[in-house]
């Protein structure tokens, strides 16, 4: 005896829509679009304050979008990206040739978008009066030639000079090694804590310390976290290479015109094989609203002009 199943018109419509819903087994996505869905991204912890704001704004505009950000050192963020635990990775280096080849062997063609120009900020304790550093002195600190404050300023009352990074696997430590062509380990007076906020806390409590952080942690005066951090420390002005007269702080104008010498590009790298929420989020950050957020966070937008204003005293 044959059994016939009777479907209501509503159920037939639902079944039809489900079959055409854009379900992608490979990506395990249902009805994902550039403005809806649920994805994971990996962000270098240096850019946590910036991307907290970018994600909050994006999700406020698109109620059906959920961006789950994991903030961690650069090395761990790339590991998540390569093993498909994160759809997007955000840091200040591009993929290596080896990483690209690995992804392409899996039919994944990553898309890299430059979204901002960032800077390393050197910070000191509020009681330290030495707020100027020559570019060459920074090089000598990391080569081990300078390890005392009186080598920078003979009048300094401070003794040992300690340098504190956020993390041994962070983009900040890698950038310094590449910038100053360091072949060996950092000198013994250099060490790492865990996060950028830990660096700020350490410097706040130690007069002889220099901390190294991303500028976005101390640049947004309307952000309560950034505002509080900025009150705890002072930011060093750095000279241009070869100069002992021209010193600049890591302000957006100085970053944009290249006066501040320790800048780097920030990238979003997307491994999506279709036009999904990751693509939409990258487009948002690279668009007008996202770029204004980057500027407010102390970075220089990559896709919108920055107007430089020179104020002259009479």
pLDDT tens-digit map of 225-235: 776 887 889 99
Supply the DSSP symbol for 4.
Answer: -
What average pLDDT score do residues 241-259 get?
94
pLDDT range class, residue 243, cuts 50, 70, 90: very high
C-alpha to C-alpha distance for 134 and 241, rounded to whole angstroms = 8
Q: Which two tokens stand for residue 170?
A: 């962070």
Residue 33's pLDDT is 97
What average pLDDT score do residues 160-184 get?
94
Q: Which two tokens stand for residue 46?
A: 């240096």
Q: Which two tokens stand for residue 151?
A: 């080598």
CB atoms within 10 A of CB 2: 3
C-alpha to C-alpha distance for 216 and 299, rounded to whole angstroms = 7
The CATH label, of 3.20.20.150, 3.30.70.100, 3.40.190.10, 3.40.50.300, for the domain at 118-263 is 3.40.190.10
pLDDT range class, residue 189, cuts 50, 70, 90: very high
Query: Of all residues in the chain, what percent carry a pLDDT higher than 70?
Result: 86
Where in the chain do CATH 3.40.190.10 domains reside?
26-117+264-301, 118-263
What average pLDDT score do residues 196-213 get?
96
Average pLDDT, the chain: 88
Residue 237 forms beta bridges with which residues? 132
What average pLDDT score do residues 183-189 get?
92
The CATH T-level fold of domain 26-117+264-301 is D-Maltodextrin-Binding Protein; domain 2 (3.40.190)
Instruction: Using the predicted structure, report yes or no on whether residue 16 has a pLDDT greater than 80.
Output: no
Q: Which of 101, 107, 63, 67 is nearest to 86 (CA)?
A: 67
Instruction: Using the predicted structure, report yes or no on whether residue 30 has a pLDDT greater than 60.
Output: no
pLDDT range class, residue 221, cuts 50, 70, 90: low
Residue 307's pLDDT is 56
Q: Which two tokens stand for residue 265?
A: 């590009």
Q: Provide the strand spans (E) within the chain.
A: 37-44, 65-72, 88-91, 111-125, 132-133, 162-165, 190-192, 209-214, 233-235, 237-239, 247-248, 263-270, 300-301
- Which tops the pLDDT comparison, 232 or 62? 62
127: helix, strand or coil:
coil
Instruction: Using the predicted structure, report yes or no on whether residue 162 has a pLDDT greater than 90.
Output: yes
Q: Are 198 and 166 a contacting pair, CB within 8 Å?
A: yes
Instruction: Using the predicted structure, report yes or no on whether residue 92 has a pLDDT greater than 60.
Output: yes
What average pLDDT score do residues 287-312 get?
80
Predicted TM-score (pTM) of this structure: 0.84
Residue 268's pLDDT is 98
- Which tops the pLDDT comparison, 132 or 12? 132
36: helix, strand or coil:
strand
Residue 11's pLDDT is 34
2: helix, strand or coil:
coil
Instruction: Using the predicted structure, report yes or no on whether residue 192 has a pLDDT greater than 90.
Output: yes
Residue 133's pLDDT is 97
């Amino acid at each position: 005896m044959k059994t016939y199943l009777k479907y209501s018109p509503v159920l037939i419509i639902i079944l039809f829509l489900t079959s055409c819903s854009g379900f992608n087994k490979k990506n395990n996505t249902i009805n994902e679009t550039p403005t809806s869905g649920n994805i994971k991204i990996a962000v270098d912890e240096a850019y946590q304050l910036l991307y907290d704001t970018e994600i909050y704004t994006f999700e406020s505009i698109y109620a059906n979008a959920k961006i789950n950000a994991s903030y961690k050192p650069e090395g761990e963020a790339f590991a998540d990206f390569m093993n498909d635990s994160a759809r997007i990775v955000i840091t200040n280096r591009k993929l290596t040739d080896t990483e690209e080849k690995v992804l392409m062997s899996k039919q994944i063609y990553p898309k890299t978008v430059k979204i901002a120009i960032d800077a390393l900020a050197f910070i000191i304790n509020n009681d330290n009066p030495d707020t100027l550093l020559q570019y060459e002195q920074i090089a000598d600190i990391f080569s081990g030639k300078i390890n005392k404050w009186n080598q920078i300023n003979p009048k300094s009352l401070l003794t040992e000079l300690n340098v504190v990074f956020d993390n041994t696997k962070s983009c900040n430590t890698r950038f310094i090694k590449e910038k100053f062509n360091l072949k060996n380990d950092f000198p013994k007076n250099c060490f790492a804590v865990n996060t950028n906020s830990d660096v700020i806390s350490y410097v706040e409590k130690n007069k002889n310390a220099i901390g190294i952080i991303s500028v976005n942690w101390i640049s947004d005066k309307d952000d309560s976290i950034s505002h509080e951090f900025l009150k705890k420390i002072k930011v060093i002005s750095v000279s241009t290479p070869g100069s002992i007269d021209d010193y600049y702080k890591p302000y957006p104008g100085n970053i944009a015109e290249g006066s501040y010498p320790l800048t780097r590009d920030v990238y979003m790298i997307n491994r999506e094989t279709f036009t999904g929420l990751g693509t939409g989020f990258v487009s948002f950050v690279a668009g007008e609203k996202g770029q204004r957020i980057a500027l407010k966070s102390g970075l220089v937008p990559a896709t919108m002009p920055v107007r430089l204003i020179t104020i002259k005293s009479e």
